[in-house]
Amino acid sequence: MNTPKQEIENLRKQLAYHSQKYYEDDAPEISDYEYDALFRKLQDLEREHPEYADDHSPTVRVGGRALEKFEKIQHRVPLKSLQDVFSFEELEDFIHGLSEQPLSFSVECKIDGLSVALTYEHGKLISGGTRGDGIIGEDVTQNIKTIKNIPLYIDEPGRLVVRGEVYMPKSSFQALNDEREKNEEPLFANPRNAAAGSLRQLDSKITAKRNLDIFIFNIQESEHSFQNHDESLAYLEKIGFPVVPYRKTLSSFNEIKEQIELIDQIRKTLAFDIDGVVIKVNSLQKREDIGENTNTPKWAVAYKFPPEQKETVLRDICINVGRTGVLTPNAVFDPIQLAGTTVSRATLHNKDFIAQKDIRIGDTVCIQKAGDIIPAVVSVNTSKRAHNTIPFQMPSVCPSCGQPVFEDVEEAAVRCTNAACPAQLIRNVEHFVSRDAMDIDGLGPAVAKLLKENELVKDASDLYYLQAEDIEKLERMGQKSADNLIAAIEKSKNAGLARLLYALGIRQVGEKAATVLAAHFKDIEAFFIVTVEELTAIKDVGEITARYIVDYFSLPSTRMLIDRLKACGVVCHVQEEEKQSSVFEGMTFVITGTLPHMTREEAEKIIVQNGGKATSSVSKKTSYVLAGEKAGSKLDKAQNLGIPILDEAAFLNMVE
């Protein structure tokens, strides 16, 4: 049996690990509820054994540290977290323990997202930062600006810093995971982590596609004087901020309890995810009187909802075949109402997941929605198990084509060995034509299936040999649809090497890896002779990915595919822009704002053609900032660093 010291150390290690997975990797392995239980257990043990106090314990930290991929941003007023309560008894103790005199409280939804601070000066949004450790966060200003509900300008002459919660609406989360599942990418566990991952993209274009939103719930700094919290939120709402909804100012414990129960009843119908209710003292002066702990205010708590779970009977385990041949088991169970919708299916991930939980057909299983969205099998009630059930075995042949399958030990996956498997073919074509791959507009899953069923496409290269007359004969297709599709296919021939590499669907080669590989090797022919050692010498390419690449290009079918793509004019190399001069040689440019007569892409092309380099962030190494109308924080930063600012006319004069 562990000593108290050993148990404290073990809990600290567990929490540090899960905190990193949650805050920094955006890939949690346990639920918030389980994490909070571990956290409270550690708090209790540390309280009982003060001799083992440690300044590096997770209980004295807020969130995770800032990631190196973003510049750091310092919060002048710390972004503190809240202490949690898990029962009405604990909540009543908190309320009655604050003061002998009656207090009023603001009762608000606890939005399950990523906490940020937005800074405005003279009515202009100048920065947006994540919470980080409460003092130092990540500068995500450009990504923040992609959130449509955040005002870029407000009617406020002084300095204003507000705190809010960036979240992903449930509908956007479902659509994002549907797309990732189709592309056989890892699914986000819940909307909170999808929002966090989206806000921390280096490319703000990706963030913009994710349809993030925000609710503001506090003023951190202001030149105005407010008496109460609800007064400050009313002011924010008046000047254009989306303020946290379903809030009430209440006094008695019974009123607060009723409001929490009401929010619990409606939370399944909300368009956004909440994981509790925040109760905080309304009077700002009373807050000062009550004070704060190192990491949490004493005048507020978060009442956390436990996740809803229900039991049902597992009737079958069906197998889905993905584009890389992975056989994914899915649970089919008696329909149940859970978190506001009827569910009857859930992914079982892989054979190891089934074995660890000992899931069998006929079992009574406990279902929970991860993030109130994705159904998941949490556990098996073995006390209700029938005596004649047997452990589940993955099939030895592919359910789509009937060919043998093999066990991929490294990925705990079972794969179909048949490259011509119909299920793989459809999904490979869907991936090949997707927006981030070859971007063939009008060729969605339904059309891909239609082409396959009519034996017009057997692999991706067949797309480039299609004729308009073949397409217009198909069901729901006509001459105009056929002509548009042929034009889109023709246009995709110039997508470039990076997109082509991604489109091929090589395991573990995503958009970023494809871009790095294309920039390094320049021509697809190089991949037919490359070695694992050469690949692993490239930054961000690991040994497993390298072996997948080498294996893929060693297949005769790959050689045939590339030859056919080349034969019909698909560009299989990096197309270097013709260099026009060396006037920008050694110079680095940053473009910000809207230029009067050219797009940002056109300006970047001119910079590259004349020997320069275009980057997205301003630093001391930046040579010039090319600024147009409504230039943002990049312009402010350049002025602070003394970097020369160009308008479009001055920029073009330099070229001439």
Q: What pLDDT digit, counting tens, does each position of 557-585 carry?
A: 889 899 999 999 999 988 765 456 678 88
Contacts of 402 (CB under 8 A, 6+ apart): none
Total count of residues recorded for the chain: 656
Tokens of 645: 């600012």
pLDDT at 131 over 70: yes
Q: Is the pLDDT of residue 26 over 60?
A: no
How many whole angstroms separate alpha carbon 497 and alpha carbon 517?
9
Per-residue pLDDT tens digits for 94-106: 998 998 788 999 9
Residue 225, helix vs strand vs coil: coil
Is residue 124 part of the annotated active site? The answer reads no
Tokens representing residue 445 in the block = 């899953």
DSSP 229-284: HHHHHHHHHHTT--B-SS-EEE-SHHHHHHHHHHHHHHGGGSSS-EEEEEEEESBH
CB 378 within 8 A of CB 385: no
Please report, as a single letter, which amino acid is at residue 153: Y
Angle, to 10 degrees, between the axis of helix 32-48 and the axis of helix 4-19?
150
Relative to beta strand 300-304, strand 274-281 is antiparallel
The rounded distance, in Å, linking the Cα atoms of 180 and 177 is 5
- Ranking 160-174, 341-355, 387-401, 404-418 by mean pLDDT, the lowest is 404-418
pLDDT, the chain, mean = 85
Specify the amino acid at residue 110: K
User: What percentage of the chain reaches a pLDDT higher than 90?
Assistant: 33
Rg (CA), the chain: 28
Residues 336 and 342 sit within 8 Å (Cβ to Cβ) = yes
Q: What average pLDDT does the segment 161-179 reach?
A: 91
Task: Return the amino acid letter for 166.
Answer: V
C-beta neighbour count of 602 within 10 angstroms: 11
Contacts of 153 (CB under 8 A, 6+ apart): 123, 124, 125
- Rounded-to-10 torsion of CA 335, 337, 341, 346: -50
Output the pTM of the full model.
Answer: 0.54
Non-local CB neighbours of 490 within 8 Å, separated by 6+ positions: none
The amino acid sitting at 416 is: C
- 429 has a pLDDT exceeding 50: yes
The number of helix segments (H) and strand segments (E) in the chain equals 23, 22
In angstroms, how far apart are the furthest CA atoms of the chain?
Answer: 85
Model confidence at 24, in pLDDT bands (50, 70, 90)? very low
The Cα–Cα gap between 436 and 84 comes to 42
Which range, of 31-35, 191-195, 308-312, 388-392, averages the lowest pLDDT?
Answer: 31-35
**Nearest CA to 374 among 114, 112, 174?**
174
Q: Give pLDDT, residue 66.
A: 46
Which of 13, 21, 80, 110 is the catalytic position?
110
The answer to whether the beta carbons of residues 381 and 311 sit under 8 Å apart is yes
Contact (CB, 8 A) for 615 and 590: yes
- The residue ranking higher by pLDDT, 612 or 73, is 73
**Cα 652 from Cα 656, distance rounded (Å):** 6
How would you class 173 by CB atoms within 10 Å of its CB: exposed for 0-12, middle for 13-18, buried for 19 or more? buried
